[in-house]
Amino acid sequence: MHADYGALSKSIAALTEGEDDLVALMATVVCELHHADDRFDWTGFYRVVAPEMLKIGPYQGGHGCLVIPFSRGVCGAAARTGETQLIDDVDAFPSHIACASSTRSEIVLPVWDRTRSLLAVLDIDSDQPAAFSSEDAVGLRDILDQVFRI
């Protein structure tokens, strides 16, 4: 089963309407996304908690890394560059952090507020190689903008 981003967007909008607590929003988004797609093995947020530092936030799946500096890993690259990271083979990514040995591919998107300040990154791992596409990037970006640019 692959995510139907249009349906997910409507569902998440209904569930988050009127909510402004970032942790509640992140928890809801992660839950809805994680259960909507068989490719999503680990789904979670890493929040910006200090300059150049991410800390694990709401997530679904096995344990994740607790802290990730902007200088390391796919999540750090997304935070550092402000660009979506679409990684077909995590073993080929030079500074990949292996939080789970089952991860084969990954997509990470920066999460911005309405003033374009970085709040977090959304990290989705798959146990399948090359699991994600530009269609996933667009669908996820639309949901993140809808929820967090409040």
Domain borders along the chain are 5-148
Report the CATH fold assignment for 5-148: Beta-Lactamase (3.30.450)
**Residue 100's pLDDT band (cuts 50, 70, 90):** low
Q: Say whether 113 sits in a helix, a strand or coil.
A: coil
Which one, of 106, 117, 109, 105, lies nearest residue 143 by Cα? 109
pTM attached to this predicted model: 0.94
The predicted-structure confidence for 27-51, as pLDDT tens digits, reads as follows 999 999 999 999 999 999 999 999 9
